[in-house]
């Protein structure tokens, strides 16, 4: 094939009439053989053996589209019409899914879609999928062009790249404009490659290894692009459509629907992590309590997985992969090890990755069970004994329950037993730790509230028809009637928020920590002729009338957290349902904390100001915030190295400050720190014998409550104040 023929071939592929079915026929007959001329004179890598086969809608997908449209319009909690405005929103959301970082398409490409942009609404009602498939096919072609271009740059030799210029690159391009044309996009990709090379060089990787790493990454992505399927386009389009109603409404393809763990919770068998797609990446949403990843300790929420490796094999780059395929790669035999290369949530640069080895295992119910501890607080010569119950999730062994086993495990049954044991140990107050508890069985949250109140409503549930169901605790018995503190953080969600909100509304205890997740919606999975639709059908409300949706539960006493609220939480999700409120239901107020809350906060703040652990936490939070606020990184070697060294010095300093607090010798280098972290993570039996200082602060607040006001004795023998239901 001559250069002229290749150029003609490229023009034919890059300029299809996206609204014409004939364009798809033409593209099928063409080989993707691309030539690029750039200011640097780079020529794209040519592979005449590879062909991109444009995907087309199947006969089953059109009726599924129509069913999805009807379900969304008539049964979703949010009342939203399919019109021209929605059409435009779906269009841009679909493009965000396909090219979220604005690195494949140009402004010229976007302009071609102007007519389609306003036609998607009517097309979605009638199952006309070709316009969306035309968009998908063009994006796939552009992805192939970009990856071929990247490989051509690598083939020229990374030693030819110039790192002496005063250049920089934008870290997050999700809000940036698309580049005007191909020439500008070429320059953007050269900067992206320089960024990847620079980051690896600063981490001590040699150029040969960097070249191999990058070539493997781009070739892997290229292979995925050539393997595009009709269902990929349909699922992306339907999820862009369904996501207009709320972020928890989504379409599952038939393949995804085959696996309950994937389709219902996206739970990864083998490591215990909940994942979701995030542009080209697979992002960790949360860790399953008691699972291998949670026990290993290195994988964290908001980490993004870029590669997956099996024992004895080279890692496979999974950028751009479908979620179900990443799941399949991570799953494996029990006791085998999977290696994940991730971009840490706090990384200042997408090229800064770390490798985590996790031994696969099943998540055992007993490892998610509630557990207890006791702490002793010396206050003015008086010793306070405080019980602590940690609840990782709201669980119930449904199989044992249905089989009639009188000793089946559940959150409420286990906590009742732990309370009885703590009473025997003479506790004067109780701390319930719900941090990182992502929820679980709704009835368990309802029953757990019942352990601390005589009877009454616990949560309200409103459906799309505005019908409200009130769940009640009908058991007048109380397992614990003493002072109570509930610890929460940003990862406390759903059932955790129901429990914490009820305890707060009843004046039954204080909520301490950081604002919770804000997941206050209920989903149901409905079958289609082709796949399934997970759709939001109702919403949770507290007994005081306010929703837990979006806003979550606001603590009475706040403690800062390392978790980035801008990236994790309901209010960080696009199209999340808003907070609102309905009429409160009558409920008892057991104690009015307004007379003492000011003094409790004052004592807490004074104690934290004097606490070396809290000062270290604040320092770490400030450091992480500085990293998050970095919008660009330099591509000049000297400037980048100086910034890299500064960041590594701070990391080591924070780690050694924590070692000093524990009376342990400092690390001499970051390499020693990393080796220690790897060793700790590899030993799943390693535990921190000392309760963390947040739990201990919960005990201190409890001691303040007991020490501050003799009226707290009224909680020890609960008295009901006048029934009231003032909104929070």
pLDDT of residue 371 exceeding 60: yes
> How far is residue 505 from each of residues 86, 415, 508, 552, 591, measured CA to CA in Å?
38, 21, 8, 13, 10
Q: Please state, in angstroms and as integers, the Cα–Cα distance from residue 437 to each residue in 247, 370, 489, 576, following that order.
A: 20, 11, 9, 21
Higher pLDDT, 646 or 286: 646
Structure tokens given for 303? 């980490």
- State the pLDDT at residue 48: 45
Q: Give the confidence band of 257 by pLDDT, cuts at 50, 70, 90.
A: low
- Check residues 515 and 381 and name the one with the higher pLDDT: 515
505 is catalytic: yes
Q: Which residues contact 298 (CB under 8 A, 6 or more apart)?
A: 354, 356, 677, 681
Q: Is the pLDDT of residue 212 over 80?
A: yes
Q: Extract long-range pairs of 61-65: CB within 8 Å, 24+ residues apart.
A: 61/127, 61/129, 61/230, 61/234, 61/530, 62/127, 62/128, 62/129, 63/127, 63/529, 63/530, 64/234, 64/238, 64/528, 64/529, 64/530, 64/531, 65/124, 65/127, 65/129, 65/234, 65/238
* Model pLDDT, residue 389: 97
Predicted confidence band of residue 40 (pLDDT cuts 50, 70, 90):
very low
CA 359, 562, 671 angle in degrees (round to 5)? 55
For residue 42, what pLDDT band results from cuts at 50, 70 and 90?
A: very low
Percent of the chain at pLDDT exceeding 70: 85
Q: Which helix (H) or strand (E) holds 66?
A: helix 61-75
Question: SS3 sequence, 656-693?
Answer: HHHHHHCCCCCCCCHHHHHHHHHHHHHCCCCCCCCCCH
Q: How confident is the model at residue 176 (pLDDT cuts 50, 70, 90)?
A: very high
pLDDT of 718 higher than 50:
no
- The candidate with the shortest Cα–Cα distance to 71, out of 403, 719, 388, 536, is 536
- Give the model confidence (pLDDT) of 145-164 as tens digits: 999 999 999 999 999 999 99
pLDDT of residue 349: 65
**Residues paired with residue 378 on neighbouring β-strands, in sequence order:** 383
Q: Which residue has the tokens 């071929």?
A: 148
**pLDDT tens digits, residue range 66-122?**
999 999 999 999 999 998 889 999 999 999 999 999 999 999 999 999 888 888 988
Which residues, 6+ apart, have CB-to-CB distance to 402 below 8 Å? none
Query: Among 362-371, 478-487, 488-497, 701-710, where is mean pLDDT lowest?
Result: 362-371
**Distance between the two ends of the chain, CA-based, in angstroms?**
72
Catalytic residue among 348, 494, 544, 634: 494
Query: Which of 15-24, 279-288, 343-352, 539-548 holds the top average pLDDT?
Result: 539-548
Predicted confidence at residue 364, as pLDDT, reads: 65
The predicted model gives 711-726 an average pLDDT of 44
Query: Active-site residue 253, yes or no?
Result: no
How high is the mean pLDDT of the chain? 84
241 secondary structure, DSSP code: H
Tokens 């038939």 found at: 254
Mean pLDDT of 687-701: 78
Q: Quote the pLDDT of residue 36.
A: 25
Higher-confidence residue of 705 and 715: namely 705
Mean pLDDT of 299-303: 86
> Comparing 151 with 352, which gets the higher pLDDT?
151
**pLDDT at residue 710, rounded to an integer:** 55
What pLDDT, in 10s, does the model give residues 553-597? 999 999 988 888 888 899 999 999 999 999 999 999 999 898 899
Check if 177 is active-site: no
Query: pLDDT, tens digit, for every residue of 543-565?
Result: 999 999 999 999 999 998 888 88
Ordered alpha helix ranges (H), 113-270: 114-117, 120-126, 130-156, 182-202, 207-226, 230-242, 254-257, 260
Reported as a pLDDT band with limits 50, 70 and 90, residue 256 is low
How far is residue 36 CA from its own chain's centroid?
A: 38
Q: Sketch out the chain's domains with CATH numbers.
A: 3-242 (no CATH), 251-359 (2.30.42.10), 365-522+536-593 (3.90.226.10)
At residue 433, does pLDDT exceed 50? yes
Backbone phi, psi, residue 684, to 5°: -70, -10
How many other CB atoms are found less than 10 A from the CB of residue 553? 31
Q: Which of 117, 194, 519, 551 is catalytic?
A: 519
Which one of 505, 556, 564, 704 is the catalytic residue? 505
Would you place residue 165 in the very low, low, confident or very high pLDDT band (cuts 50, 70, 90)? very high
What integer is the mean pLDDT of 387-405? 86
pLDDT at residue 38 is higher than 70: no
454 burial via Cβ count (<10 Å: 0-12, 13-18, 19+): middle
- Average pLDDT for 403-409: 81
Which strand ranges, in their side-by-side order, compose the sheet holding 371-379?
A: 371-379, 382-390, 429-433, 484-488, 510-513, 557-558
Higher-pLDDT residue of 283 and 107 is 107
Say whether 6 sits in a helix, a strand or coil. helix
Q: Cα–Cα distance between 567 and 359 in angstroms, integer? A: 28
Q: Rounded to 5 degrees, what are φ and ψ at 452?
A: -120, -5
pLDDT surpassing 70 at residue 193: yes
pLDDT higher than threshold 70 for residue 329: yes
Using pLDDT thresholds of 50, 70 and 90, give the confidence band for residue 365: low
């Amino acid at each position: 094939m001559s250069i002229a023929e290749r150029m003609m071939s490229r023009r034919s592929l890059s300029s299809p009439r996206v609204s014409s079915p004939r364009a798809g026929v033409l593209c099928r007959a063409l080989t993707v053989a691309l030539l690029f001329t750039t200011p640097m004179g780079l020529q794209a890598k040519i592979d005449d053996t590879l062909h991109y086969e444009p995907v087309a809608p199947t006969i089953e997908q059109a009726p599924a589209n129509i069913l999805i449209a009807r379900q969304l319009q008539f049964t979703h909690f949010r009342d939203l019409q399919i019109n021209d405005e929605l059409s435009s929103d779906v269009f841009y959301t679909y493009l965000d899914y396909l090219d979220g970082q604005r690195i494949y398409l140009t402004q010229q490409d976007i302009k071609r879609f102007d007519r389609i942009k306003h036609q998607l609404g009517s097309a979605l009602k009638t199952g006309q999928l070709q316009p969306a498939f035309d968009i998908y096919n063009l994006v796939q072609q552009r992805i192939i062009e970009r990856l071929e271009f990247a490989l051509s740059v690598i083939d020229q030799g990374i030693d030819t790249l110039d790192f002496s210029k005063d250049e920089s690159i934008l870290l997050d391009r999700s809000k940036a404009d698309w580049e005007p044309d191909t020439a500008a996009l070429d320059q953007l990709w050269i900067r992206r490659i320089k960024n990847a090379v620079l980051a690896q060089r600063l981490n001590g990787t040699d150029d040969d290894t960097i070249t191999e790493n990058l070539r493997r990454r781009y070739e892997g992505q290229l292979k995925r692009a050539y393997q595009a399927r009709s269902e990929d386009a349909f699922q992306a389009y339907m999820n862009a459509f369904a996501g207009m109603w709320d972020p928890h409404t989504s379409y599952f393809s038939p393949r995804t629907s085959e696996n309950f763990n994937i389709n219902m919770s996206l739970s990864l068998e083998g490591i215990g992590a909940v994942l979701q797609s995030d542009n080209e990446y697979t992002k960790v949403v949360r860790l399953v309590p008691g699972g291998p990843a949670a026990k290993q300790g290195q994988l964290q929420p908001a980490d993004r997985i870029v590669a997956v490796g099996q024992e004895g094999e080279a890692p496979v780059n999974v950028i751009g992969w479908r979620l179900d395929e990443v799941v399949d790669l991570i799953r494996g035999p029990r006791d085998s090890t999977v290696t994940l290369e991730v971009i840490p949530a706090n990384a200042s640069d997408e090229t800064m990755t770390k490798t985590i080895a996790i031994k696969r295992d099943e998540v055992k119910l007993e490892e998610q069970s509630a557990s207890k501890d006791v702490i002793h607080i010396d206050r003015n010569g008086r010793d306070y004994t405080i019980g602590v119950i940690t609840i990782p999730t709201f669980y119930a062994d449904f199989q044992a329950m249905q089989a009639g086993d009188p000793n089946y495990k559940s959150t409420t049954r286990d906590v009742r037993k732990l309370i009885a044991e703590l009473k025997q140990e003479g506790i004067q107050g109780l701390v319930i730790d719900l941090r990182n508890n992502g929820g679980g069985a709704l009835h368990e949250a309802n029953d757990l509230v019942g352990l601390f109140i005589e009877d009454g409503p616990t949560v309200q549930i409103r459906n799309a028809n505005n019908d409200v169901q009130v769940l009640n605790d009908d058991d007048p018995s109380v397992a614990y009637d003493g002072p109570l503190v509930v610890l929460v953080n940003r990862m406390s969600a759903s059932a955790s928020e129901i429990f914490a909100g009820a305890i707060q509304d009843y004046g039954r205890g204080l909520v301490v920590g950081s604002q919770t997740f804000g997941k206050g919606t209920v989903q149901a999975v409905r079958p289609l002729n082709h796949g399934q639709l997970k759709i939001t059908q109702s919403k949770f409300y507290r007994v005081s009338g306010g929703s837990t949706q979006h806003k979550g539960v606001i603590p009475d006493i706040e403690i800062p957290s390392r978790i980035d609220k801008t990236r994790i939480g309901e209010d960080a999700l696009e199209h999340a349902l808003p907070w609102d409120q309905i009429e409160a239901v009558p409920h008892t107020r057991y104690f009015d904390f307004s007379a003492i809350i000011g003094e409790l906060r004052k004592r807490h703040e004074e104690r934290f100001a004097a606490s070396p652990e809290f000062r270290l936490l604040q320092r770490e939070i400030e450091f992480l915030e500085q990293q998050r606020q970095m919008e660009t990184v330099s591509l000049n070697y000297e400037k980048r190295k100086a910034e890299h060294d500064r960041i590594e010095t701070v990391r080591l300093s924070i780690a050694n400050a924590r070692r000093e607090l524990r009376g342990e010798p400092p690390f001499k280098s970051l390499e020693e720190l990393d080796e220690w972290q790897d060793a700790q993570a590899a030993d799943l039996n390693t535990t921190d014998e000392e309760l963390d200082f947040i739990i201990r602060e919960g005990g201190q607040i409890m001691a303040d409550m007991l020490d501050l006001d003799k009226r707290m004795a009224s909680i020890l023998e609960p008295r009901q104040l006048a029934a009231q239901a003032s909104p929070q």
